[in-house]
């Protein structure tokens, strides 16, 4: 099972434990420079912390940057629209 899939499973099974695990995965992957994984993790984090608008905006903004970096234009368009609707762009 991939790290992303494992985190998704943990979020469903034990949301309280998922927060620290997601944070650790973000920090670990950031150090590795894996832009594709960072995009997925920041998208996941925006959804996980969906009740905290500061967290959502932070993670969507980072996801947007990683989507631009890897050329995932569908994600760029989707994230731009979400950030624009929030008044962040």
- With beta carbons less than 8 A apart as the criterion, state whether 63 and 39 touch: yes
* pLDDT at position 64: 98
Can you give the pTM of this predicted structure? 0.89
Which residues make Cβ contacts (< 8 Å) with residue 53, sequence separation at least 6? 86
- Six-digit token pair at 78? 């989707």
* pLDDT at position 19: 92
Report mean pLDDT in 10-residue bins for the chain, 89 residues: 85 90 90 90 95 94 97 98 93
* pLDDT at position 31: 82
Domain ranges, residue 10: 3-85
Number of domains into which the chain is organized: 1
* pLDDT at position 69: 96
Q: How far apart are the first and last CA of the chain?
A: 36
């Amino acid at each position: 099972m991939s790290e992303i899939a494992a985190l998704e499973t943990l979020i469903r099974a034990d949301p309280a434990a998922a927060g620290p695990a997601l944070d650790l995965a973000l920090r670990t992957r950031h150090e590795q420079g894996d832009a594709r994984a960072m995009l997925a993790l920041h998208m996941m984090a925006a959804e996980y912390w969906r009740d905290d608008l500061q967290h959502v905006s932070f993670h969507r903004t980072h996801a947007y940057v990683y989507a631009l970096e890897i050329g995932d234009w569908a994600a760029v368009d989707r994230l731009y629209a979400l950030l624009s609707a929030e008044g962040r762009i």
